[in-house]
Structure 1
Amino acid sequence: MSTPPTPPVLTPVGEGTVRISWTREESVDVVRREIAAALLEHARVEVWVDPDDEAGQRVATWSGMRREGVARGVTVDGDAVDRIVYARLATDVPAETPEGFRSLLNSFLPRKRAISQMLVRDEADRVLLCRLTYKQDWDLPGGVVEVGESPQLAVAREVEEELGLTIDPGPLVLTDWLPPWGGWDDALCLVFDGGVRSPSLLDDAVLQAREIREVAFCDAAEVRERCADFTARRVEAALAALGGTGAGYTESGR
């Protein structure tokens, strides 16, 4: 006769919180039932799963636990390791409902960072660039889109915060994919049309001191001189797309 699998183990780890563990042979149904029973007495049930344990990740997910992130360098059996943290709260919407299932999927499906920038030109076709405090390269005005924020509204907010200028963004000019680089995950950079403006626009600029050193309208040669290669390529690609001679999608400006 085969030996039945060891039932899941619940270990208190804090007030109202228990951590569940199970053997590799355990089924989703058993883990789901144990979690449901534990939530009758506890506010939170969590599990730490080895990033290499794909089966454990599947069981955690389909038993209704939401992925919360990666705990780095936690101590397990005396070793510093990384563990994916999944948890279910007593107040979570049931996973079998449409809202609960969407929330479950949302917890582990990929998310991509978005950056919104604005392409502002003057009558001489020079481009508005910012010299940043945290790097030597110049860049288009803009910044990271906040969670739940419209990219178009985000670029207007960033320009107002960084330069003290109120400019209504026009249509999307370019979508530029940025590959992982220097500790950053990949991202999508969305460049919106800021229109043609008089150079006197900068007379009203109020620079955010902690981020912006300087701002100027730059010609093509200055763009190449002052910007990182991938930024210069993005500016050139955005101008080409705006003029109808280039694609609306690039990867690192190409």
Structure 2
Amino acid sequence: MTASKSGGPAATAVLPVEQYVAGLARKRMAAGVLFRDRTGRVLLVEPSYKPNFEVPGGAVEADESPWATATRELAEELGWDRPLGRLLVVDYVRPQDSRPEGVVFVFDGGVLDETDLVGMVFPDGEIVSAGFHTLTEARDRVKPLLADRLAAALQAVEQGVTVLCEQGRRIA
């Protein structure tokens, strides 16, 4: 502790910036894109490396923004170069399955139709199929956390807002 300049009570020593930054919490981040058709079904992709389906997207890499991640993942997974729409969901995810806590961003990809999926090629082999599913069907194919996040994202589209979630459940 050191004395303050004013001669008042002692103040706590300030850490050097490097030491302060090294002690900050680290969170994983991911970004996905919600595409839907005119009937409200959502586009899910089937990964080659795990049993559950996902929305297009993935982990944010070092020195990459979540919106850049979403754009990169669309190109890698689906071969698409499309502009992102507005932010629909920010979801805080607690630590689970040996993964640290994280923040997931979901962007609006807009409305597609079946013709957008015809002849689809998956450039990197990470994805084996893609198709539209109702929210009820999606609940059978995705993890419960993503199912809840999808429901929140669809509400955000309908209401024209960005929603905040914890563990996929809307809080605001």
TM-score strictly above 0.5 = yes
Matches within 5 A, 1:118-197: 118-197=33-112
Shift of 1:164: 0.7
- Selected match of 1:223 from 109, 118, 138: 138
Identity %: 35
Structure 2 partner of 1:207: 122
Greater than 6 Å deviation, 4+ residue runs: none
SS of residue paired to 2:64: coil
| 2:87 and 2:162 in contact (8 A); partners too | no
> Which stretches in structure 1 are left out of the alignment for 5+ residues?
1-60, 63-94, 96-100
Secondary structure at the residue paired with 1:250?
strand
> 1:197: Cα distance to partner?
1.5
What's the CA shift for 1:234? Answer: 0.7
Give, in angstroms, the shift of residue 134 of structure 1.
Answer: 2.1
Correspondent of 1:242 among 138, 142, 157: 157
CA distance in 1 between counterparts of 2:34 and 2:86 reads 11
Higher relative contact order, chain-length normalized (CA < 8 Å, sep 6+): 2
Describe how 1:39-50 pairs up with structure 2 within 5 A. Answer: none
- The whole-number CA distance in structure 2 between the counterparts of 1:171 and 1:114 is 18
State the Cα RMSD in Å: 2.0
2:168 equivalent in structure 1: 253
State the AA in 1 paired with 2:83. Answer: D
SS in 1 for 2:117: helix
Which of 22, 25, 31 lines up with 1:110 in the alignment? 25
> Aligned partners of 1:174, 1:243: CA distance in 2, in Å?
13
- What letter is aligned with 1:162? E
**1:141-165, Cα deviation, whole Å (9 max, x unpaired):** 1001111212111101101101111
Post-superposition offset of 1:221: 2.1
Q: Determine if contact 1:165/1:204 at 8 Å carries over to the other structure.
A: no
Cα distance in structure 2, aligned partners of 1:245 and 1:161 = 29
Count of matched residue positions in the alignment of Structure 1 and Structure 2: 156
Give 1 or 2: higher strand fraction.
1
3-state SS of paired residue (2:76): helix
TM-score, normalised via structure 1 length? 0.57
Could you tell me which amino acid in structure 2 is paired with residue 203 of structure 1?
V
Aligned-partner Cα distance in 1 for 2:144–2:24: 32
Residue identity opposite 1:223 in structure 2: A
